Amino acid sequence: MRAIGIASFIGFLACVPLANWMIGHVGTVCVPNGPCLIPVAPGLMAPSGVLMVGFALVLRDLVQRSFGTMAGLVAVLIGTATSSFVAPTELVIASGVAFLLSELADFAVYTPLQRRGLVLAVVASSGVGLVVDSFVFLSLAFHNLDFIAGQIVGKAWAVAISIPLVRMVRRLTPVPG
């Protein structure tokens, strides 16, 4: 359990700078003075960092399952600080605020649901977190919601890809006390 928690914590913290770096460097198209975009569904594009944010939502839940609620909150605070340090100047506030609010929303939904089922808790909390992150980030970073559908779909893909890992963790770890 400890190894899963440590790996989840490291992975969670790695998602933050990677997402911010990807927004400016990885995509099938990069908008001048804007984000680099990737296709997330037919006709739907999103800033490329969406995948890492989706994974971060799941990994934070696994940190909490492994080490408890305080560790989950500490991970959110460290992740927020890291986000603020690694994002380009124009994205620092948007990234930091979106990360903090989305992870706290994820925490608020995951915590009461975790005893009812890990997969249910992760999917529900990640769903809430990815909507909050998408709305806050796009509003603050680009002052419009042009990519909100793509953001939500892209993050949902990352959550869906993570479900086999969550199911494995559920089998390997006891229900938290």
Q: What is the pLDDT of residue 174?
A: 62
Over residues 36-62, mean pLDDT? 91
Torsion, Cα 165 94 147 159, to 10 degrees, reads 10
Judged by phi (left if over 0) then psi (alpha if -120 to 50, else beta), residue 70 lies in: alpha
**CA-CA distance, 12 to 82, in Å (whole number)?**
11
CB count within 10 Å of CB 135 equals: 17
CB count within 10 Å of CB 89 equals: 6
CATH class entry, domain 2-172? mainly alpha
Beta strand pairing status for 29-30 and 44-47?
unpaired
Give residue-wise pLDDT tens across range 116-152: 888 999 999 999 999 999 999 899 988 989 899 999 9
Structural domain boundaries in the chain: 2-172
Give residue-wise pLDDT tens across range 50-103: 888 889 889 988 999 889 889 988 998 888 788 767 766 677 788 888 888 998
**CA-CA distance, 117 to 103, in Å (whole number)?**
19
